Chains A and B, each alone.
Chain A
């Protein structure tokens, strides 16, 4: 009698352990794309939300963020050609507090420059996830909206917002630098109003975004979240 009771208790204990393990697993990323010996090099913690400050603190932070936008210098498509005149004296983006940075770790604005092929999308996802928050995405050109003139191509995606969250679209093929500046001013306005919560949206719908990305990126050989 006593022995069987002990058995029962042990079973319950094992079940609880199992449940705890399952919960821990749910909080972890599978990183299935990595080789077994490489898994140790990468973090498998799920990304977490960053809640905005309260009240005036958030307003102040948003104002400060909107005054200093650092672009990731990664021209993902033909639209990147419009960024060069934006830097030079005629349009001079520096007067708006906008400047280009060479690495994702240093930048907060990602401009998707037009069409994105599947191969580029993989790099876009990697770069976007490596950027530190708060981070914003500008969709430049018609291709980011609905595929543009490459809408029926076998190799270019149609809508970038299925894979990463987008804050502002700038339509046109190509939009002129004036339109880009207009997009930046709109972005600044939205940041000040606290509407640019793309990063938290990405984390809330993380599994949906990942499923969409993995549906088209077949050779997924990177971690599930690039810290």
Chain B
């Protein structure tokens, strides 16, 4: 069943009038995965979005998708545009954009390591980025239990206690301040 997020594709979006669900100077468009690179190329070459600000992913495990966000910036109109692309989590693969911005290769390398999203043809995409010799599932995927992994791997020191901050403040430290929490 397609969710509302997935139904919004490039067909609904006119180039001149991107979907606005952000603040002034920041807009987002939703684009289908097959049209995304063509769309971004057009943004860069025709519409003046010459700067790739960042390129990141969000794991929507409920919808079985990764949402990629290409944030591009237009210096002339001082406009940020986030191009959002949904790709399936299973066997996640996306077309590389390193030919548009060379530094995109670094983002893609990071996404490969942290989310397991493959970008075939991107330079050095299979090299380790910050995790050296990581063998488990990519740690930014939401099915990865970071607390469990830490407890099993890193010799936790016994005796760690967690307090509810507001209650602890009220009880121990600053009774008057606790009212404002």
Interface, chain A (partner B; CB < 8 A) = 117-119, 122, 145-147, 151-159, 162, 212, 215-220
Q: A154-B139, A158-B157 are in contact. Are A119 and B130 (CB under 8 A)?
A: yes
Complex Cα gap A221–B3 (Å): 47
**A162 with B132: CB separation less than 8 A:** no
Q: A119-B130, A154-B144, A158-B150 are in contact. Are A218 and B160 (CB under 8 A)?
A: no
Interface, chain B (partner A; CB < 8 A) = 128, 130-135, 139, 144, 146-147, 149-151, 153-157, 159-160
Complex Cα gap A220–B130 (Å): 15
**B155 with A162: CB separation less than 8 A:** yes
Residue of B nearest to A212 (CB): B155
**A154 with B149: CB separation less than 8 A:** yes
Residue of B nearest to A217 (CB): B133
Which residues of the partner chain A approach B130 to less than 8 Å between Cβ atoms? 117, 119, 155
Q: A119-B132, A219-B133 are in contact. Are A155 and B157 (CB under 8 A)?
A: no
Which residues of the partner chain A approach B154 to less than 8 Å between Cβ atoms? 147, 156-159, 216
Nearest chain B CB to A2's CB is how many angstroms away? 59
Q: List 8 A-B contacts (CB under 8 A).
A: A119-B131, A151-B156, A151-B160, A154-B146, A155-B130, A155-B139, A159-B154, A216-B154
What is the total of A-B residue contacts with beta carbons within 8 Å? Answer: 60
The 6 A-B pairs with the shortest beta carbon distances in the complex, nearest first, are A219-B133, A218-B133, A146-B157, A152-B147, A158-B154, A154-B139
Q: Is the interface of A mostly helix, strand, loop or mixed?
A: loop
A118 touches which one: B132, B151, B157 (CB < 8 A)? B132
Complex Cα gap A206–B152 (Å): 22
**B157 with A218: CB separation less than 8 A:** no
Complex Cα gap A152–B135 (Å): 18
Which residues of the partner chain B approach A217 to less than 8 Å between Cβ atoms? 132-133
**B132 with A219: CB separation less than 8 A:** yes
Which residues of the partner chain B approach A152 to less than 8 Å between Cβ atoms? 146-147, 150-151
**A218 with B139: CB separation less than 8 A:** no
**A159 with B155: CB separation less than 8 A:** yes
**A147 with B156: CB separation less than 8 A:** yes
Q: A154-B139, A154-B146 are in contact. Are A145 and B132 (CB under 8 A)?
A: no
Nearest chain A CB to B156's CB is how many angstroms away? 5
Which residues of the partner chain B approach A215 to less than 8 Å between Cβ atoms? 153
**B132 with A155: CB separation less than 8 A:** no
**B131 with A155: CB separation less than 8 A:** yes
Nearest chain A CB to B155's CB is how many angstroms away? 5
Complex Cα gap A154–B128 (Å): 16
Complex Cα gap A154–B135 (Å): 12
Which residues of the partner chain A approach B128 to less than 8 Å between Cβ atoms? 219
Which residues of the partner chain B approach A151 to less than 8 Å between Cβ atoms? 150, 156, 160
Q: A119-B131, A154-B139 are in contact. Are A216 and B153 (CB under 8 A)?
A: yes
Which residues of the partner chain B approach A212 to less than 8 Å between Cβ atoms? 155
Which residues of the partner chain A approach B132 to less than 8 Å between Cβ atoms? 118-119, 122, 217-219
Nearest chain B CB to A164's CB is how many angstroms away? 13
Which residues of the partner chain A approach B144 to less than 8 Å between Cβ atoms? 154
Which residues of the partner chain A approach B133 to less than 8 Å between Cβ atoms? 217-220
Residue of A nearest to B139 (CB): A154
